[in-house]
Amino acid sequence: MDFRQYINNLIKEKSILTVKKPVSIDVEAAAVLKTAEPKPVIFENLIESPGFR
């Protein structure tokens, strides 16, 4: 199993929080991570990194 498969399994099991709204790395990401603790988070729309997940 590669890393992407592992992440996809976590998503299917709802063991990871997926954030689809635009989030700023500099302003909002830390607050989202703190709120989600201890659950891991995947950001799908980082403002400073368009196209990366």
- pLDDT (tens digit, 9 = 90+) per residue, 1-20? 899 999 999 999 999 999 99
pLDDT digits (tens, 9 = 90+) for 16-44: 999 999 999 998 999 999 999 999 999 99
Residue 43 buriedness (CB in 10 A; 0-12 / 13-18 / 19+): buried
| Domain residue extents for the chain | 3-43
CA–CA gap between residue 26 and residue 29 (Å, rounded)? 7
| Closest among 42, 36, 46, 49 to 4, alpha carbons compared | 42
The dihedral region occupied by 51, where left means phi > 0, alpha psi between -120 and 50, and beta the remainder, is left
pTM, to two decimals: 0.75
The answer to whether residues 25 and 48 touch, using CB atoms and an 8 Å cutoff, is yes
More confident residue, 15 or 51: 15
